[in-house]
Amino acid sequence: MLDKTDFASWQQRIRLYCRGKENGVNILKSIDEGPFQMGTFQETLAEGTEVGPHLGPERPRVYSDLSPKDKERYNADIRATNILLQGLTKDIYSLINHYTDLKDIWDNVKMLLEGSELTKEDRESQLYDDF
C-alpha cells in the first residue's frame, strides 16, 4: 500500500513487483511510455496486378486484428492499471480514478505525492531556513 510520505520507496516496490509478473517488460512499458495504441487497419480486398494489392478503407483496429505480440502489450496495459490502482490508498484513488491511461495515473500520483520541481525547491528552502 502507498505510504504518502515515501513515494520513492513505493515506486520502487511497484516497479519491482511489475517486473516479476508475467509480461513484466510490457507492464513497465505501459507505465513509462503510455498505453498501447491500437491504430488503424486496412484490409486487402483483392490481389492486384503489377501495381499492388487493392486495399479497402481504413478502419480502427480491434483486439482480434492484433498480432500475438500486440495482444500481450494490450493486455499488459490492463494488468498494469490494476496493479497500480490496487496499491493506492482510498483518498489518492478518489483523486485519480477518472484517468484511464496508466501513464496519466502514474504521473498524477507522483505529482500529488512529490509535487513539482518548484514545490520541491520550496520545501527544500523551507527546511534549510528551519535548520
- The reported pTM is 0.70
61: closest CA among 52, 48, 74, 49?
Answer: 74
Separation of alpha carbons 71 and 23, rounded Å: 11
Q: Quick: pLDDT tens for 48-88.
A: 566 667 777 888 999 999 999 999 999 999 999 999 998 88
Q: Mean pLDDT over residues 93-100, rounded? A: 89
d(CA 88, CA 1): 6
Residue 121: per-residue pLDDT: 67
Q: Show Cβ contacts of residue 39 under 8 Å, excluding neighbours closer than 6 positions.
A: 60, 61
